[in-house]
């Protein structure tokens, strides 16, 4: 049976996607911070869906441990979902280089290093699926959010490059750009409910994109039009909008 590896196994969106793969009979490996937590999440997933699930510890910032992590997986994955992300207070990060560094490395360097390991193995095997959760925030740098946004822009570019490198080898890469999703990541923000998608909605959209062989998914779909509008605004106008 095929195996899905979830990087960021504690993520709300990651959990919703993992559940859908599990219900299709996939084995799931949840990788994230806290060995016991990952094991408990895997046990609960297995209890709900009847799938085989494993939990394994992973800190994406500890890049020295990545090769050993990859080698030690309980079974070889056919699909990898990267759901790791950090949205910290940009005001604080602007004043504190260590916080900014953590934000950039969590959203870009760590995931990039891990997906490279997946890409190399999938390329050699001649099959595989990489799903990277980027963000609409990566489509254009906003004054209030450009540190997170620039890391996600880098991640989007990385996924695009991996797609271009790997398609001849039969490896697919899906870039997911959610808008605002009701998860712990944005729980500190007060936002109108209608703007928020649920993790379940995002996961359903991801499964549809997986099934139809999509490459770039905006979810919910209307963010594609919104971001088109945001991208074409001239810089001199964009600067005047306080977003
Ligand atoms: N929610 C939104 O509005 C939104 C919008 C656009 C894109 N996204 C993206 O969607 C993805 C999933 O996020 P989410 O909304 O599901 O939020 P979430 O529940 O907060 O998930 C983020 C995950 O990243 C993990 N993580 C952070 N630093 C890590 C590290 N050093 N090592 C390993 N794991 C680490 C967290 O682990 P812990 O559980 O240990 O903290 C958490 O499980 C992220 O890439 C996020 O950027 C979210």
- State pTM to two decimals: 0.97
Tens of pLDDT, residues 36-86: 999 999 999 999 999 999 999 999 999 999 999 999 999 999 999 999 999
> What is the pLDDT, as a whole number, of residue 243?
84
Q: How far is the CA of 114 from the centre of ligand 1 (A)?
A: 15
> What is the pLDDT, as a whole number, of residue 52?
98
Decide: 31 and 57 in contact? Cβ < 8 Å. yes
Tens of pLDDT, residues 105-117: 999 999 999 999 9
Q: Whose CA is nearest to atom 39 of ligand 1?
A: 10
Can you give the residue range of the structural domain that contains 145?
A: 3-238
CA 77 to chain centroid: 16
Could you tell me the CATH number of the domain that includes residue 30?
3.40.50.720
Peptide bond into 220 cis (omega under 30): yes
> What is the pLDDT, as a whole number, of residue 71?
98
Whether 105 is covered by a domain: the verdict is yes
What is the rounded CA–CA span in Å between residue 106 and residue 61?
6
Q: Is 18 in the pocket of ligand 1 (CB under 6 A)?
A: no
Whether 149 is covered by a domain: the verdict is yes
Q: What share of the chain has pLDDT > 90, as a percent? A: 95
Average pLDDT of span 182-210: 95
Helix (H, G, I), strand (E, B) or coil at 28: strand
Decide: 153 and 138 in contact? Cβ < 8 Å. yes
Q: How far is the CA of 213 from the centre of ligand 1 (A)?
A: 24
Radius of gyration of the chain (CA): 18
Residue 1 reports pLDDT greater than 80: no
> What is the pLDDT, as a whole number, of residue 123?
98
What is the rounded CA–CA span in Å between residue 153 and residue 161?
12
> What is the pLDDT, as a whole number, of residue 242?
78
Whether 243 is covered by a domain: the verdict is no
Which residue out of 54, 148, 155, 223 is catalytically annotated?
148
Write the CB contacts of 9 (distance below 8 Å, at least 6 apart in sequence).
Answer: 15, 18, 29, 30, 31, 32, 38, 41, 42, 55, 58, 83
* Domain tally, the chain: 1
Quick one: tokens of 125? 């095997």
> What is the pLDDT, as a whole number, of residue 93?
93
What is the rounded CA–CA span in Å between residue 8 and residue 14?
7
Average pLDDT across the chain, whole number: 97
Tens of pLDDT, residues 138-190: 999 999 999 999 999 999 999 999 999 999 999 999 999 999 999 999 998 89
Ligand 1 atom, smallest distance to 196 CA: 3
148 is catalytic: yes
pLDDT confidence tier of residue 227, bands split at 50, 70 and 90: very high
Residue 188: CA atoms inside 13 Å, Cβ hemisphere, count? 5
Ligand 1 atom, smallest distance to 199 CA: 16
């Amino acid at each position: 049976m095929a195996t899905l590896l979830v990087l960021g196994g504690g993520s709300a969106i990651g959990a919703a996607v993992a559940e859908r793969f599990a219900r299709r009979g996939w084995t799931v490996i949840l990788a994230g911070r806290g060995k016991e937590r990952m094991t408990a999440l895997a046990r609960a997933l297995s209890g709900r869906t009847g799938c085989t699930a494993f939990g394994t510890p992973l800190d994406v910032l500890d890049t020295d441990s990545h090769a050993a992590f990859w080698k030690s997986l309980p079974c070889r994955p056919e699909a990898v979902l990267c759901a790791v992300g950090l949205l910290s207070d940009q005001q604080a990060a602007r004043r504190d280089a260590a916080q900014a560094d953590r934000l950039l490395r969590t959203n870009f360097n760590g995931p990039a290093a891990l997906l490279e390991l997946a890409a190399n193995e999938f390329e050699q095997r001649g099959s595989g699926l990489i799903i990277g959760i980027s963000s609409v925030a990566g489509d254009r740098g906003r004054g209030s959010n450009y540190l997170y946004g620039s890391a996600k822009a880098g991640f989007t570019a990385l996924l695009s490059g991996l797609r271009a490198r790997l398609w001849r080898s039969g490896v697919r890469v899906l870039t997911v750009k959610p808008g605002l999703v009701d998860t712990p990541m944005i729980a500190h923000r007060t936002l109108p409910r209608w703007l928020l998608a649920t993790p379940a909605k995002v996961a359903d959209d991801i499964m549809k994109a997986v099934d139809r062989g999509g490459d770039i998914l905006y979810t919910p779909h209307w963010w594609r039009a919104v971001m088109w509008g945001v991208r074409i605004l001239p810089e001199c106008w964009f600067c005047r909008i306080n977003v």
